[in-house]
Amino acid sequence: MVFLKKYYSVKANSILESVIALTIISICLYFAILIFASVFTPRTSAKFYNTQNKVNELFFLSQLKNDSLQYESGDENLLIEEEIVNDRLKKISVQYKDSTQFKFEKSFYVENNP
């Protein structure tokens, strides 16, 4: 016991000091979490860029071959809408939406080759 008292007694200068210190640390951590949350938004995630690249890929695919979009419907999160503007032109709207409420929309015109 004497041994313990000698080596393991941790003295607090005052309880008040400890409380103030804990408050400062918690405020600091609160701001840190706020900053982390604002930095790591869905727009900065790799997934956002993957989705954007995927939609861009769809544009180039539909430019090359008109019916290529029908093979992309396997992805449940991807909603592709085709609107025929006239007999030579159609507007394609691509919407990406998943369970995290992350939403991404893009529309473009492609030639409607028969």
Which spans of this chain sit near other proteins (rule: CB under 8 A)? 6-7, 9-13, 17-18, 20-22, 24-25, 28-29, 31-32, 35-36, 39, 44, 49, 52, 56, 59, 63, 85-86, 88-90, 105-112
54 within 8 A of 94, measured Cβ to Cβ: no
Instruction: Give the nearest distance from C-beta 24 to other proteins in angstroms.
Output: 4
The tokens describing 76, both together, are 């449940």
Q: Among candidates 61, 114, 64, 66, which has minimal Cα distance to 88?
A: 114
Residue number, 28 or 75, with CB nearest to other proteins: 28
> Measured from the CB atom, is 20 or 79 closer to other proteins?
20
Cβ-contact 27, 78 below 8 angstroms: no
**Identity of the amino acid at 40:** F
Q: Which is nearer to other proteins, 81 or 111 (CB)?
A: 111
